[in-house]
């Protein structure tokens, strides 16, 4: 069952609800380490990266459980403060356990995550931030060890906008002595969701969602409960699924403000969208034009929607230039789309897409990473004939029941 088989040419129509955001849930689950006791989370998406996070929390002495759709994390004093390589290599976001462990217990030994398909993914800025808070950092045999009696709040400037780095520093600073000011903080909505949960536990954080976040350290945090925000990347992926098949699809349960950069680009390309407070409906469009996109930190066009957008541009009328500024190797889907008949020329961080309606013909292709796998499924929906997407386990890391959602909209898709 390693392949997704997509029969192309079927219009998607109907309404679909977005699940909770993977990239909000992961840091929020790790933040539970800051407060011993039972934390309660709703709208946590059921997907592989959540399972990996649960395994890592359990390796640190926590108990996790599902009761219907509520996820509980019962945090107890860890037996060890080590996040093992076998767990971290499966999911780089495991590195987010460093900040909470260091702040709460004064020690964290976390395997360096290593690179991944889309880039080197260094964590140097995470370590700079921990050092700035007073931690001693040693790197040894593939592990980063951080220790500190008590972290001390400081002003700190991130030289590059980093989501994970901002999240690690937010969590560490919550229990530091005094005030921390994070400058050039990442502004992604998932950072806001994390800060909201930290404040629910008793932290004193202001400015989240802007590039300057202030954290007044407190003595102790208490377990709380939280509903994870909706997944804006899944919402954008589902909107493109409707658009690329020429159907009418309502994407429910995610504010359009969270992915308006995509909505604007699709409208510029010729699509009509009906937008309400929590839903976006894409209307049938016989043809659309190529529109350039450059990815960048929020609120600009998200790198996590670049591959999906490229599939849409592959069958647009005319050329679009897609520039990837966040990761150095996030065009692994290009050659697979070319196998399906797309006319795309990648050059370092720029891909020229010569769009042509009906250019895509089904073929076997291979997924290389999470968002690339989504882009290949989307292309398969629009291609003539059958597309099989191999190594579909990549998709299961970040999308909850994607094929069920697409089938409910009329897609002919299944696993083999």
The nearer residue to ligand EPZ, 273 or 334, going by C-beta atoms, is 334
Q: In what order do the strands lie in the sheet with 70-75?
A: 63-67, 70-75, 37-42, 225-227
Minimum CB separation from ligand EPZ for residue 114, in Å? 12
Helices 306-314 and 370-382, axial angle in degrees (round to 10): 20
What is the spatial distance between Cα 359 and Cα 167, in angstroms, rounded to a whole number?
Answer: 42
Minimum CB separation from ligand EPZ for residue 93, in Å? 4
Beta carbons of 392 and 376 less than 8 angstroms apart: no
What is the spatial distance between Cα 377 and Cα 395, in angstroms, rounded to a whole number?
Answer: 9
Minimum CB separation from ligand EPZ for residue 92, in Å? 6
DSSP string, 116-153: BTTB----HHHHHHHHHTT-EEEEETTEEEEE-SS-B-
The nearer residue to ligand EPZ, 85 or 284, going by C-beta atoms, is 85
The nearer residue to ligand EPZ, 30 or 271, going by C-beta atoms, is 30
Beta carbons of 380 and 389 less than 8 angstroms apart: yes
Instruction: Tell me the C-alpha to C-alpha distance, in Å, between residue 31 and each of 80, 122, 127, 388.
Output: 17, 21, 17, 39
How many helices (H) and strands (E) the chain has is answered by: 14, 24
What is the spatial distance between Cα 372 and Cα 396, in angstroms, rounded to a whole number?
Answer: 12
The nearer residue to ligand EPZ, 184 or 227, going by C-beta atoms, is 184
Minimum CB separation from ligand EPZ for residue 9, in Å? 28
Q: Tell me the residue number closest to ligand EPZ, measured at CB.
A: 164
Minimum CB separation from ligand EPZ for residue 117, in Å? 10
**In the chain, what is the straight-line distance between the N-terminal and C-terminal CA atoms, in Å?**
5
Q: CB-hemisphere CA count at 13 Å for 318? A: 8
Pairing of strands 179-183, 204-206: unpaired
Minimum CB separation from ligand EPZ for residue 244, in Å? 19
Q: Which of 40, 62, 97, 116 is catalytic?
A: 116
Q: If you count them, how many residues does the chain have? A: 416
What is the spatial distance between Cα 116 and Cα 119, in angstroms, rounded to a whole number?
Answer: 6
What is the spatial distance between Cα 388 and Cα 47, in angstroms, rounded to a whole number?
Answer: 21
The nearer residue to ligand EPZ, 251 or 395, going by C-beta atoms, is 395
The nearer residue to ligand EPZ, 236 or 346, going by C-beta atoms, is 236
Binding positions for ligand EPZ, rule: CB under 6 A = 23, 26, 93, 119, 121-126, 160, 162-165, 186, 303-304, 326-327, 370-371, 398
Whether 97 is catalytic is no
What is the spatial distance between Cα 19 and Cα 22, in angstroms, rounded to a whole number?
Answer: 9
E strands of 296-349, at which residues? 318-323, 344-347
Pairing of strands 37-42, 225-227: parallel
Minimum CB separation from ligand EPZ for residue 94, in Å? 10
The nearer residue to ligand EPZ, 95 or 271, going by C-beta atoms, is 95
- Residues with active-site annotation: 116
């Amino acid at each position: 069952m390693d392949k997704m088989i997509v029969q192309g040419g079927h219009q998607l129509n109907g309404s679909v609800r977005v699940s909770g955001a993977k990239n909000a849930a992961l840091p929020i689950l790790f933040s539970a380490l800051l407060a011993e006791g039972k934390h309660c989370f709703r709208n946590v998406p059921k997907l592989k990266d959540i399972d990996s996070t649960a395994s890592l929390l359990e390796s640190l002495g926590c108990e996790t459980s599902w009761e219907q759709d509520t996820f509980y994390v019962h945090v107890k004093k860890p037996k060890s403060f080590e996040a093992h390589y076998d767990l971290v290599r499966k999911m780089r976001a495991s590195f987010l356990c460093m900040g909470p462990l260091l702040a709460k217990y004064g020690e964290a030994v976390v395997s360096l995550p290593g690179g991944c398909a889309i880039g080197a993914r260094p964590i140097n800025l995470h370590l700079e931030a921990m050092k700035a808070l007073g931690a001693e950092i040693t790197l040894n045999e593939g592990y980063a060890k951080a220790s500190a009696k008590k972290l001390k709040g400081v002003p700190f400037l991130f030289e590059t906008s980093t989501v994970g780095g901002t999240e690690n520093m937010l969590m560490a600073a919550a229990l530091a002595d005094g005030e921390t000011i994070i400058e050039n903080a990442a502004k992604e909505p998932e950072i806001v969701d994390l800060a909201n949960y930290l404040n629910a536990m008793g932290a004193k954080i202001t400015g989240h969602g802007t590039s300057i976040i202030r954290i007044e350290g407190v003595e102790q945090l208490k377990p709380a409960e939280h509903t994870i925000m909706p997944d804006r990347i899944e919402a954008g992926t589902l909107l493109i699924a409707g658009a690329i098949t020429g159907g009418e699809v309502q994407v429910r349960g995610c504010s359009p403000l969270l992915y308006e950069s995509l909505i604007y680009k699709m409208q510029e390309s010729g699509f009509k969208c009906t937008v309400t407070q929590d839903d976006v409906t894409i209307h049938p469009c016989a043809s659309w034009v190529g529109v350039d996109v450059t990815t960048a930190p929020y609120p600009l066009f998200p790198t996590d929607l670049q591959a999906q957008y490229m599939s849409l541009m592959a069958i647009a009328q005319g050329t679009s230039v897609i520039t990837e500024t966040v990761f150095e190797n996030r065009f692994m889907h290009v050659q697979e789309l070319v196998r399906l008949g797309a006319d795309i020329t990648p050059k370092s961080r720029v891909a020229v897409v010569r769009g042509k309606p009906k250019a895509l013909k089904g073929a076997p292709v291979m997924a290389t990473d999470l968002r690339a796998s989504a882009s290949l499924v989307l292309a398969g929906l629009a291609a003539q004939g059958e597309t099989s997407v191999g190594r579909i386990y990549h998709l299961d890391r970040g999308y909850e029941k994607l094929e069920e959602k697409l089938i409910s909209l009329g897609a002919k898709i299944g696993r083999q």
